[in-house]
A and B are shown apart, each in its own frame.
Chain A
Amino acid sequence: MRRCAVGSVTLSHCVTGVGGKDDTDASAATLVDGIDCMGMHGDANEKARLYRAVSQDELDDIISFGGFRPGPGHMETKLFTTSADDAAYVAREILYPLDHKPLTIVEVEVPHAFWIRLFRFIADGKPVVAVEPNQLEALNAKGRRRVMDSSPIPYGSSCAFGDTRKG
């Protein structure tokens, strides 16, 4: 069973896909910056996965620039979720209602050594990872990006086709 410590609460089956790893040693879990998940304690070759829901404009910029960079007038820090599920939740429940523009989820695989330097916190009830402006260059250099061609339906969300995972 995968477990994730969020603050002082331990949740089971949360942030599925964090790090894309299957570590099962519960005793290894520690708390870093308030949030840490099992599987984030490995050696230098281990990877973690971050997810970000982006607009078409940002996606175009990521492709043309070759990475993430602040857009004029937007956040200088880039925020990521730690699972595709949470990215889909953010897209559907937070971003889309604001401007009704379509979003795409981008996955970034980063080295464990980079991951542990990132600020992690809870926003809108979901684990979030912040990549600060001075860390973006390293993210772009070390991270391996993949545009997801589908996205999960966030648990508990409603959509036109219904959520088959309810009940």
Chain B
Amino acid sequence: MIDVMADIHLLYTHEGGRKSFICSGYRPNIRFGDNVYVDGAITFSDREKVFPGDTCQVQIRFPKPEGIQKYLTIGTSFDINEGALKVGEGKILALP
């Protein structure tokens, strides 16, 4: 298990993003590179909800980071997906 700090941006609904907000604990598919998907639990402490179109700083916990070690570097970009649907994107800001 590993935690990283990241900036994320949720796409607007009209851009193909979610229809509703996310809460702390939201657990989408984080997509690195071309097609490397892992589960990541997103938590944030400065607000209760993050809405489509919002940008904020979050913590992402990866329960099984073994397959993504090479992507875990500061500045790496990733997509936030729900299956095939891209609902947001982000960039790693800090590592433990």
Residue contact B63 to A98, C-beta cutoff 8 Å: yes
Q: Which of A73, A74, A131, A133 has the most CB of B within 10 A?
A: A73
Within 8 A of B (CB), among A92-143: 93-95, 97-99, 119, 121-125, 128, 130-133
Within 8 A of B (CB), among A46-60: none
Question: How big is the B interface, by class?
Answer: 20 to 34
**CB nearest neighbor in B for A73:** B23
Q: How far is the CA of A75 from the CA of B28 in the complex (A)?
A: 6
**CB nearest neighbor in B for A74:** B26
Chain B nearest CB, measured from A134 CB (Å):
10
Q: How far is the CA of A74 from the CA of B38 in the complex (A)?
A: 16
Residue contact B63 to A93, C-beta cutoff 8 Å: yes
Q: Binding site of A, secondary structure by majority: helix, strand, loop or mixed? A: mixed
Within 8 A of B (CB), among A79-101: 79, 93-95, 97-99
Residue contact A123 to B39, C-beta cutoff 8 Å: yes
Residue contact B83 to A132, C-beta cutoff 8 Å: yes
Residue contact A123 to B19, C-beta cutoff 8 Å: no
CB neighbours (8 Å) of B61 from chain A are: 98
Residue contact A77 to B20, C-beta cutoff 8 Å: no
**In-complex Cβ contact of A133 among B19, B29, B41, B49 (8 A):** B19
Residue contact B83 to A94, C-beta cutoff 8 Å: no
Q: How far is the CA of A131 from the CA of B83 in the complex (A)?
A: 8
Q: Contacts A123-B37, A130-B82: A74 and B23 contacting too (C-beta < 8 A)?
A: yes
Is residue A163 contacting chain B, with contact meaning CB distance below 8 A?
Answer: no
14 A-B pairs within 8 Å (CB atoms) are namely A72-B21, A73-B22, A75-B27, A79-B29, A94-B64, A97-B1, A98-B61, A121-B84, A123-B29, A123-B38, A125-B67, A130-B85, A132-B82, A132-B84
Q: Which residues of B contact A (CB under 8 A)?
A: 1, 18-23, 25-29, 35, 37-39, 41, 49, 61, 63-64, 67, 82-85, 87
Known A73-B21, A94-B39; further 4 A-B contacts with Cβ < 8 A: A75-B27, A94-B64, A97-B63, A125-B67
